[in-house]
Amino acid sequence: PKVHLDCWKRLVSICYNICNRVIPKSSLDVVEEEIRQFCVEFENLYGKDFVTPNLHLMTHIIQNIKDYGPINGFWCFGYERFNGYLIDFHY
């Protein structure tokens, strides 16, 4: 359905914008709002049961870019480390 396609397009737009080697500071607030809208839209479409920790961590990527620069310089090691913590978590 179109709503699912639109949600996917929003995610692709976010990824395109944050994966550039040069990211203007002026665009970071716009991308941050896109991320927020994507998360809300995703939850509305698929429900809370499909919201994963990675979706939450995505909301922090703009602050990471502000702190460390474009993500190609530090990439997603934080996400991978967090996945390691989850693997070791026993409930």
Report whether 16 contacts 38 (CB < 8 A). no
pLDDT per position as a tens digit, 1-56: 999 999 999 999 999 998 888 888 889 999 999 999 999 999 999 999 999 888 88
Cα–Cα distance between 51 and 45 in angstroms, integer?
11
Q: Which residue has the higher pLDDT, 85 or 28?
A: 28
What is the pTM (predicted TM-score) of this model? 0.76
Cα–Cα distance between 59 and 38 in angstroms, integer?
10
Report the b/e string of 11-37 with b at 16+ CB within 10 A: eeebeebbeeeebeeeebeebbebbee
Structure tokens at 59: 């909301």
